[in-house]
Chains A and B, each alone.
Chain A
Amino acid sequence: MSTKIFKHIQSTVVPVNIENIDTDQIIPARFLKATTRDGFGNNLFRDWRFDENDNPKRDFILNDPLYSGKILLAAKNFGCGSSREHAAWAIADYGFDAVVSSFFADIFKGNALNNGLLPVQVSDGFLAKLFAAVEADPHAQVEIDLVDQFIKISATGEMENFEINPYKKACMTNGYDDIDYVLSKKELIEEFESNR
């Protein structure tokens, strides 16, 4: 089964400048009762986006028409807490292709990579530049290139390289997934079992 292919994007950015965003904020537990992967985008950041009467909260950035795009920009330690993959599904379903932060929680990072959502980890300094660029111009364009592993602020040309496991990079740029790979090693697994 293939996942979405990711090679290069250029887009405007939605900045959510909050540290330690846990997956309970990305998708609260009460929305985890679905049994398919679809539709989670409607409830992305649910309690920050909507009040108790389901009216959009004006002061939350996802409700600000000035900001849109395929890149979610967040402060450090993004995706901590619960292992719920629904968080990655919600971000991707809402329309984001990449999340940029200076630090990602392990399980979230793995979940994102398994769903064609690229986590781009940048330095604290470059993160500050990104936030500044979007603050100065909500329509600022940012490029993310997975093939050459860089992120660039289009207007200024400022850029930084980012790390990614070469195997996961190959999966994302080709659209194949872990299960295909592990299944191809089935004989090794059976051999391991018989030698125990």
Chain B
Amino acid sequence: MYSEEELLPLSGIQHFLFCPRQWALIHVEQQWAENRLTVEGRVLHDKVDEGKPESRDGYRIERSIPLRSFALGLTGKADVVEYPLDRSSALVPVEYKRGKEKNHDADVVQLCAQALCLEEMTGTSIPSGAIFYGEPRRRLPVVFDEELRQTTQQAAADMHRLFRLGETPRPVFEKKCKNCSLLEICEPKRMGRSGMGKEWESMLHQCLSERL
């Protein structure tokens, strides 16, 4: 169990799964850069936050619900939680994403982390949730099975381990770097290389031997 002050932002889980270094740059190094994707994401979120609570058949819709879990050590917000009017059904967390469905499970794990927080806070069990993707506009149901729950718990534990170390993982350039909003801060290609010392000393030697 974590204490209240050890809680890490839940939103970091998706960064962490995309790239632990990106997560460390944001959450440990406090670096943040906007790119088109993050700005559009914020605009979409603002829309979600602005909206008044409304209802969907059989459900009351609440927005921006504060969350935390002492078991996972996370705190954050759910975009939307749907509360059943009939008390015997379960709550449904819904996450809004501006883009397409991704080929990795960062979004799904983030939603599952929200569900685990809600379970801990309400003492009820939450079997499933949904992700709403902006393009194309569709609602994707997500079942919180045992495997997904374990993946989520593992990700939260790994994140805490890295945070305790206070280390930022070194950069490794990969294809996915091209879509990363922190590319210019991370500079994985040039700043990440080794052997700089040798190179610099030989430049210095050149300076010394340079004649008029």
| Chains A and B are bound partners | no
